[in-house]
Amino acid sequence: SEFSSGMGRPSLVAVLNDMEKSSKPIVAAIDGVALGGGCEVSLGCHFRVASTRTQIGLPEVNLGLLPGAGGTQRMPRIIGVESAIDFMCSGVPVPAAGAAKVGIVDKVIEGDKAAVLKGAVDFAASKVGAEVRRLCDVTAKSPGNDVFDKKRKQYAKARPGEAAPQAIITCIAASTDRAFDQGMQVEGKEFKLLMAGDQSKALQYMFFAERECAKIPGLSAKPGPMEHVGVIGAGLMGGGIAMCCAEAGMKVTLLDVDAKNLERGMNVIKKNYQRSVERKSKTQAKVDALLSLIQPSTKYEDFANCDIVVEAVYENMDLKKKIFATLDQVCKPGCMLASNTSYLNIDAIASATKRPEDVIGCHFFSPANVMKLLENVRGTKTSPKTIATAMAFGKKIKKITCLVGNC
């Protein structure tokens, strides 16, 4: 990638400038994800057609960078300055429908790649003889210095200490008060400063490390089913794990042998979700649907059909062994039996069962519904299928998942 080998020649900036100067209409046919440079390529085209499944974004801020191929100059010329700042400083992609609504995409096509290609060809044919639309010929309208000041304060608070959001705002401001070529000079200068800085190097390292840690050399086993999860312990950790699983669309049985603890735990979950409604990050309908997936129980027999069971009680070896011996009796063959222990020996816990190959550690960090890391701990006898299931489980609940040894 350009992160390790540097930018190739000709530069993407030069290619897009040549594309944009074409007198013939160029239509971007977008299917799937168009992030970063892919999005900038589409902006260098005169028109954009996308499939319904398309996601479009400029997430460079998450790598400590800014869009360096004209994104900071072309995007505000389409969607306006304030929207462009939020689009780039959040780094969150938008679906095709949302992109069309704000004008990034000219037409959304139902169907697969072939349908999008045909739609783009037809769209280009409809523009023959018409004047092409070059974003470099447009000037972004300035919303006023007060808006730029407000946005700087907003992202200084949202992303404290990060240089990239402030640099992005500087570049977008340049799209409003000077010619396109001069704005590109500002973008190039700010990009080089960020690229050479420690923040971007650290964030790029983290980006690739997070993806590398999910790869297990030599693991060819396929994961087992992950439709129904049992969670033991309705405390802060167990409740958080239950929320993670429900939000991944999994059916959850939350068990606590103490009915009062179970009721208290369910109330905490409900309060957490109610705060989401109040913050408007979730609708009441969404919360109701999530809560319907979490069924409280005081009986281990309700784990009979679970594909995965995660134990999340306090750190006591005798108690955990007792629980796993019970799970050995009630859970179906092949059910993954996981302990959330942070330091107890997984092999010792597995010894309480007749199926140590199904036992693994799944160490969440508190609060489990917020913290991103999941540490899977393999025991001496943990099977490849159980490891594959634990890694797939982490991915399904959107955790950064790594595999470690027992110690």
Hey, which residues are catalytic here?
Answer: 40, 60
Pull the structure tokens for residue 95: 């679906």
What 16-23 contacts at long range (C-beta under 8 Å, 24+ apart), as own/partner pairs, is 16/40, 16/41, 16/43, 16/44, 16/69, 16/70, 17/44, 17/70, 17/136, 19/44, 19/45, 20/44, 20/45, 20/46, 20/134, 20/135, 20/136, 21/134, 22/46, 22/132, 23/132
Alpha-carbon distances of 242 from 309, 376, 399, rounded to whole Å = 11, 17, 14
Residues 6+ apart with CB under 8 A from 283: 277
Is there a contact between 47 and 28 (Cβ–Cβ < 8 Å)? yes
Query: Helix 81-90 to helix 145-158 angle, to the nearest 10 degrees?
Result: 10
Is there a contact between 357 and 335 (Cβ–Cβ < 8 Å)? no
If one counts every other C-beta atom within 10 angstroms of the C-beta of residue 122, the result is 13
Query: For residues 288-299, b (16+ Cβ closer than 10 Å) or e, as one string?
Result: eebeebbbbbee
Residues 6+ apart with CB under 8 A from 374: 362, 363, 364, 394, 397, 399, 400, 401, 402
